[in-house]
Every structure is written in structure tokens, then in C-alpha cells.
Amino acid sequence: MTTPRRVTIRDVARKAGVSVATVSRVLGGDYPVLAVTRNKVMRAVRELDYVPNAHARALSAARPGAIAIVVNTIAVPYYALIAQGVEDQAAQEGRLSLICTTGGDNGRELSIVQLLREQRAEAVILVGSVIVDEEYRKRMTEYAHALAAAGSRLVLCGRPPLGEGVPALVVGFDNTGGAHAVTAHLLSAGHRRILYLGVRPGHTTSDTRVAGYRSALAEHGVALDPSLEVEAEFDRDAGYAAMNRRLAEGPPDFTAVFAGNDLVAAGAIQSLHEHGLRVPHDMSIVGYDDVPPAQDLHLTTVHLPHDELGRAAVRLALGRVTTSPMTLGTHIVVRDSVRPLGPR
Amino acid sequence: MTTPRRVTIRDVARKAGVSVATVSRVLGGDYPVLAVTRNKVMRAVRELDYVPNAHARALSAARPGAIAIVVNTIAVPYYALIAQGVEDQAAQEGRLSLICTTGGDNGRELSIVQLLREQRAEAVILVGSVIVDEEYRKRMTEYAHALAAAGSRLVLCGRPPLGEGVPALVVGFDNTGGAHAVTAHLLSAGHRRILYLGVRPGHTTSDTRVAGYRSALAEHGVALDPSLEVEAEFDRDAGYAAMNRRLAEGPPDFTAVFAGNDLVAAGAIQSLHEHGLRVPHDMSIVGYDDVPPAQDLHLTTVHLPHDELGRAAVRLALGRVTTSPMTLGTHIVVRDSVRPLGPR
DNA sequence: ACGTCTGAAGTAACCGGTTACCTGACATCG
DNA sequence: CGATGTCAGGTAACCGGTTACTTCAGACGT
């Protein structure tokens, strides 16, 4: 069974008894065509079930390119929600959107960006933190210049700028502010020994949240205790494991936990429960992101406008708005995971 | 600032002092080229930062097309997990994957499929239930034939086949089996009055789960009670609202709840809590899907191999495997949301 | 020494659209 | 009535690659 040749615009032209130019004009747009001619063409299109070839179109005409979003994985709500925002805004702008996943591998990310250059993507939106090594920064910087030279835009979402003079738009959440607010929330509930669970050296998202945590403590005159800043990846298992390790050392020397994100909080809560500690009665905890498990866990957390981030990235990429760097506000969502401490 | 013309293969050829054919061969593949020539070309490619145009390639050579997955939304874990499976398998097969979202609108879905035909996608994977109206079935059937004629594959994931003789591959979860198992689990814990929360007339996913529920009841000699089958969309809000309505009618006339999926369960649990009913002490509940909130809610549920579904869809689409219809097994995950009822 | 074979590289047609430019019919005007 | 303008529609070049076919130089055989 051989593949029967595709129907092309020339087939339509032949069938309709007109030239290919006329067919193109009827399908394409604003060029004047007599109603009777248009009808002949449309009939031929229908009868042959002609579907124009997007590649040929992209090649011949200077049409708008796709909008690509590159994330770690789509299976994590944080990324999925942002991606959905991009998708929605792109659709609204009439653009095709490509979602690519890297699995958190810098090498894969670089080759995906290269792939997107081949696809002549009009915008490349990179989302989420990376551990930036020198090789990566060098190559991504080259890509940034190359994309700019080709008229495409590079947007960095919730990640550090590449450096001075590198053509890239930046939009992110106010992590430091949010972390400050939620830490202040714990402090004003009377907590003084607050475990920060989610240090990740070199990761901007983590670094900025830690910064907010520290500045809030400083403002309240609470001395920093390095032993209260605990490393953990930003997923449920890491939160669970880290809390398990901590609790194995003996009874907790803290009354509250600030988890790097809600997934870490969920894992930590499971560990706490397994150690007989109830939230919020025996231990207060707050999270970050306000993604799905948060509501069910009655978790006080920081709400991030994920959808808005995605939409803003697209608007920036298309030049609809030009404020870069752009910082999106966050707000604390108080649920039921923090218990006020009585006066000492 | 005018866009500086793109670097093309001819520029590279000129710079390297060879013909375009040679450049294409160096970059493309297996044709023999002298090492010295290859080097000249590679140097020119590097110096000019030449990036081949994917559209031109797609147009001239018969290269493999993209793999597209069409889902309701990516912000819901059920879809996100399946999409990630598709993405992973597609990447593994060296294919570009496109993720498209419809927002649950049949009209949009149809126009997306048309868009994918224009993109010359090699496979179109449609995921999730739809309420099938006649117009939709008619047009999608046409598309199915058209895609087949063009050598592309259409894969339906977790949704009903379009009809006899319509060229579409089918893969799905064993919903009836899973629903049967989880209902049997409740029955053997002694429950007899089990509320099914999540009837959606015309929706296959719901229908098949209801079927499993009913058959398990029948097997255990429990008479069906239509008043125990309650309508609800498959999201958290719907579960919450439906349970609220039910509980507003008076004290519950059931001892257990089978929620159409985990999100519905999460909403129902919130409602139960707000009515002072504790899970599992005062009310047993099971969910379906085993997506994120389930673990944190200690919810007994049915685990679905989402990732496997995505991968299987791609393998089917690429003809790596040919068993269609294909049904993926599920298994019950027992957590802590069901309380055994003592002997009456 | 001459014809033949072999392998690297070049030439140009082609993929399927778009569009600048051209043609020809008809209306309009001095 | 011929010059000019208007407008629908045709012709063919072009977008940027791939590849069938051709060319040509050097190796080899007799």
C-alpha cells in the first residue's frame, strides 16, 4: 500500500479551473476575488479535502512563528499551571504553542533550544530554576544572542538573568517578598525557631526564598541559626526524607516549619504524622506555591499567580508589554496549619 | 532595524567553497564526504552559526512528523501525567511532540485536529472523555479517515471508539475493572449503602466506572438504589458542591462514598469535614486515579498507570506495537479512608 | 597508452506554498 | 475613438532545504 500523493494547491487549481495564485488568494486572505471564482475554489477544496501544508506556508511567507515553553516536567503542578497560562495566552494570540520538557537536564535544555531555533520559534520561554554552570551559561548566552539576531525573543521565567547585555526578557514571582510575608506570619504567631526546609545551593528560587526568610527573621530581631536551614530538593519525597532525618535526631528543636514549596510541605507533614506530631497542634508549617495538595492539607502558603506568569511571558515575548524585568506579586493564603504560640 | 537575512545553506556552501549538496550531505547523513571537505563545511557552519530550517527540511524530505497530544487542560494532573508519558516516549523515539489543549470544547478540539493536519503531524493522540454529539462524531470520523489516508495515525486514549471501520487506535484504562475492585473493597468492609458521586450522562469514563460499581453491587447481592447515584463533574468544586447538597438534605443515608475521581473525593471530604464528619471514622470514601491529592488525603483509590498510557499511545501510533484496542490494568491502593463496618 | 571503473562533488529539479509583476477585459474620460 | 485606469486573474520566481542524475579526476586493468 503506497501512500497516495498528497493533495496540493495545484490539484485544487486544476479542479477549480483557475490558477494556483487564485487558490492561494481565496484561502489566504484579503486579495479581491470574484464571488463566483471563490465558490469554484471552495468547492474544489471541499471535494478534494485539501489541507494546506503548514511547512510550505512557513517557508514561503513570513508568518508568525510558534511560541515555545520549556519546563522541567509537566507532571508537577507548578510547571503545568504556568504552561497552561502560556498555552491559553498563545491560543488567544492565535499562535501555535510548543511545550517541551527537559527533565531538569541542562544539556537537554540546550539541545531543545537548538531544536526550537530550527523550528523558527518566535519566542522561547524558559521556566524554572537551573543550577547554572559555566558551560551552560556560555552556550545559553550564545543562543540568546542568536535568537535576538533572528528576531526571536527569549523569556526567562522565574530564573536569573543571564548577565549584562544579554538580550532576554525576564519575568518572575516576588519570592523574597512572599517568603518574607509568610515568615513574618509565623513570627507574629509567636514562633521563633522556624525550620527552613528546602535549601538548594545555587538554585535561584530557593536562594530568593531563603533571603526572604532571613530578612524577616532579622527584622524581628531573631538571630539566624544555620542549623535551622536544611537542604532538600523541591519535591514530596525530599521533604519527607529530610524531615525524617531531622526527627530521627531527637525531639524537634523548632516549633514551625517553612517548607520550600507545598510538595516539600506535604512530605514533611507525612513524616510529622508518622512521628506522632499533629499539624498545627504540635507543629506549625507553611508552604509555598499554593498548588493542589495545599488546599487539602489546610496548608497556609503563598499563592503564586502561575497562570498570570505564563500569560505575562507570552505578552512580553510578543512585545505587547515591555516591562522587563517584571515581578508578579504574591499573597499569603491563611488556612489552618499554623498555631499561635502563647506568651512564653 | 531590519531583520538581517537568515543564514541559508547557500551561504554556508559559498563560505566553504563547496556546493549546497555537499553541505546538505555533511549535515544530513550517510553520504560519503572526504574528511577535509567535511571540516571545511563544519567550520563554515560554526562561523556563520548556521541553523537549518526545519520547515524547509520537512517540505523537501519525507521526514518523520510530530506527535501531537490533545487534552482538555494540562493543569489537571490526570492529563498532565498522561501528557508527560507521551512527551517522554516521543522524545525517546526522537520525535517532536506537540501538546494542545481544548478547554473541554469539542469545537476547539476539531479545529485543533485540523491544525495538526496542516502541521502534517504523524500521530494525533486524543485523550479523555468527550460528550459526543452527532456533529462531532461526523466530523471527527471524517478526520479519522483523512488522517489515515495521509498515513497518519489517530489514537484515542480513554475514550470510546468512533465506530465500526473508522481507522483509529484505541488504548484505555480498565475502568470497569477498577471500579469493580474498589467497590468490592468497600463491600467486603461491610458497607452496603455506597454513594456513587460522579455520574455524568454521556461521558464514557463515568459510564464505565458506574458499570463497575453496579456489577460489584450485583455480585454481592446488593440492590441498586438510584438515589445513591449522584451527578457531579469530575473536579474538586463539583465534588464539594454535590456533597454539600446531599448533606443539606439531612443525615447521610449511606456509610461510604465512591467518588468518580480523586478530585471529587477531595471536594467531598472537605464538605464532610465541614459537616463534622470524619474520614474514615464517620464516613468511608474511595477515589479513583491516584493523583496528587490522594496520597495526602490518605485516600484509598485506584491507581492508573498514566505514564504507561501515554507511552502506549505513542508506541501504538508509531506501529511499535499493534494490539488495539489495548486495555491497561489498574490496581487498588489501600490507604486509610475506609473503615470496616462491624457486623450489623 | 587507452578504456573502464569508482567515488567525491556539482547541477538542477523538486517539495508546496506565496506574491511581485504581468496580462487582458472592460469602464471611463477628454 | 483612442488613451488611461481599474480590477480579476495568470505566470513564474522564490522561500531553504534534499536528492536524482551528471561530471570529473584518479585508480586500475590489459
Strands (E), chain A: 67-71, 97-101, 123-127, 153-157, 169-173, 194-199, 229-231, 256-259, 284-286, 301-303, 326-328, 331-333
What mean pLDDT do residues B172-191 have? 95
Percent of chain B with pLDDT over 70: 98
Interface of B with A in 136-165 (CB under 8 A): 142, 146, 149-151
Q: Is the Cβ of B55 closer than 8 Å to some Cβ of chain A?
A: yes
Q: CA at A26, C1' at D6: how many angstroms apart?
A: 20
- Cβ-based neighbour number of residue B323 at 10 Å: 11
Query: A107, A111, A164: which is closest to A131 by C-alpha?
Result: A107
- Find chain B residues with C-beta within 8 A of A87's C-beta: 74, 99, 101
Provide the 3-class DSSP secondary structure of residue A275: coil
Q: What is the pLDDT of residue A161?
A: 85
- Report pLDDT digits (tens) over B289-306: 999 889 999 999 999 999
CB contact under 8 A, B118 and A52: yes
Mean pLDDT for chain B overall: 92
The residue lying closest to nucleotide C8, measuring its CA against C1', is B33
Q: Please answer yes or no on whether B52 and A118 come within 8 Å at the CB atom.
A: yes
Joined together, the cell numbers standing for residue B246 give 446531599
Determine the distance in angstroms separating the CA of A58 from the nearest CA of chain B, rounded to an integer.
7
Task: Give the closest of B56, B74, B296 to A83, CB-based.
Answer: B74
Decide if B150 and A266 are in contact by the 8 Å CB cutoff. Answer: no
Q: Which pLDDT band, with edges at 50, 70 and 90, does B4 fall under?
A: low
- Looking at 1.10.3720.10, 3.40.50.2300, 2.40.30.10, 3.30.360.10, the CATH number of the domain A175-306 comes to 3.40.50.2300
State whether residue A74 sits within 8 Å of chain B by CB: yes
Residue B64 at interface with chain A, using a CB cutoff of 8 Å:
no
pLDDT at B320 over 50: yes
Q: What are B138's three cell numbers?
A: 461526523
**Spatial distance from the CA of B42 to the C1' of D26 (Å):** 26
Q: pLDDT, tens digit, for every residue of A133-160?
A: 889 999 999 999 999 998 899 999 988 8
Cβ of B118 within 8 Å of Cβ of A4? The answer is: no
CB contact under 8 A, B151 and A3: yes
* Protein residues closer than 7 Å by CB to strand D: A 17-22, 32-34, 36-37, 56, 59-60; B 5-10, 20-21, 24-25, 27-29, 50-53, 56-57, 59-62
Query: Which cell numbers hold the place of A132?
Result: 547554572
Chain A residues with CB under 8 Å of B88 CB are 101
Closest B-chain CA to A298 = B270
For strand C, is any atom closer than 7 Å to the CB of A11? Answer: no
Cα nearest neighbour of B79 on chain A: A75
What chain B residue is nearest to A89 in terms of C-alpha separation?
A: B101
Burial of B14 per CB tally in 10 Å (0-12, 13-18, 19+) = middle
Q: Say which residues have a Cβ less than 8 Å from residue A262's Cβ, sequence separation at least 6.
A: A287, A288, A289, A290, A291, A292, A293, A294, A297, A299, A301
A167-205 pLDDT, tens digit each: 999 999 999 999 999 999 999 999 999 999 999 988 888
Closest approach of chain A CAs to the CA of B229, in angstroms? Answer: 25
* CATH for A9-60 (3.20.20.140, 1.10.260.40, 3.30.230.70, 3.40.50.10320): 1.10.260.40
- Of chain B, the percentage scoring pLDDT greater than 90 comes to 82
Question: Using CA atoms, how far apart are residues B242 and B248, in angstroms rounded to an integer?
Answer: 10
Res. A4 pLDDT band, cuts 50 70 90: low
Q: A30 to chain B, minimum CA–CA distance in Å?
A: 21
Residue of A nearest to B5 (CA): A150
Position B344 scores a pLDDT of: 46
pLDDT tens per residue across span A78-107? 999 999 999 999 999 999 999 999 998 999
Cβ separation B119–A83 shorter than 8 A: no
Rounded to whole angstroms, the Cα distance separating B178 from B212 reads 7
Do the chains contact at A53 and B74, CB–CB below 8 Å? no
- Classify residue A268 as exposed, middle or buried by CB count within 10 Å of its CB (0-12, 13-18, 19+): buried
Q: How far B96 CA lies from chain A's nearest CA (Å)?
A: 9
Q: Is the CB of B62 under 7 A from strand C?
A: no
Question: Could you give the residue range(s) of every CATH 3.40.50.2300 domain in chain A?
Answer: 67-173, 175-306
pLDDT at residue B340, as a whole number: 92
Chain C nucleotides close to protein (CB under 7 A) are 7-12, 14-20
Mean pLDDT of B225-229: 94
Each residue of B81-115: pLDDT tens digit?
999 999 999 999 999 999 999 998 999 999 999 99
B194: enclosing H helix or E strand: strand B194-199
Does B3 sit within 8 Å of A150, measured CB to CB?
Answer: yes
Q: What is the pLDDT of residue A344?
A: 47
Where do you find CATH 3.40.50.2300 in chain B?
Answer: 67-173, 175-305
CATH 1.10.260.40 maps onto chain B at: 9-60
Q: What is the pLDDT of residues A278-317, one digit of tens each?
A: 989 999 999 999 998 899 999 999 999 999 999 999 999 9
How close A142 comes to chain B (CA, Å)? 10
Within 193-252 of A, beta carbons closer than 8 Å to B belong to 236
Nearest CA in chain A to B269: A296
Query: Which set of grid coordinates corresponds to residue B284?
Result: 468511608
Q: Which CATH superfamily is domain A67-173 in?
A: Response regulator (3.40.50.2300)
pLDDT > 90: what percent of chain A?
83
Q: A11 CA, C16 C1': separation in Å?
A: 11
Q: Is the CB of A281 under 7 A from strand C?
A: no
CB contact under 8 A, A270 and B56: no
Instruction: Provide mean pLDDT across the span B145-153.
Output: 92
The pLDDT, as a whole number, for residue B32 is 82
Q: Which of residues 272-301 of A touch B (CB under 8 A)?
A: 292-293, 295-297
Whether A5 has a pLDDT exceeding 80, the answer reads no
Measured between alpha carbons, how far is residue A324 from residues A24, A65, A168, A299 in Å?
A: 40, 22, 9, 32
- The CATH classification number of B175-305 equals 3.40.50.2300
Confidence at residue B1, expressed as pLDDT on a 0 to 100 scale: 44
The reply to whether B117 touches chain A by the CB within 8 Å rule is: yes
Taking an 8 Å cut-off on Cβ atoms, the answer to whether B55 and A59 are in contact is: yes
Chain-wide mean pLDDT for chain A? 92
Task: Give dist(CA B126, CA B68) in Å, integer.
Answer: 8
C-beta separation of B144 from B154 below 8 A: yes
- The shortest CB-CB distance from A51 to any of B81, B118, B236 is to B118
CB A288 within 8 A of CB A182: yes
Å from B37 (CA) to C5 (C1')? 23
What is the pLDDT averaged over residues A6-28? 93
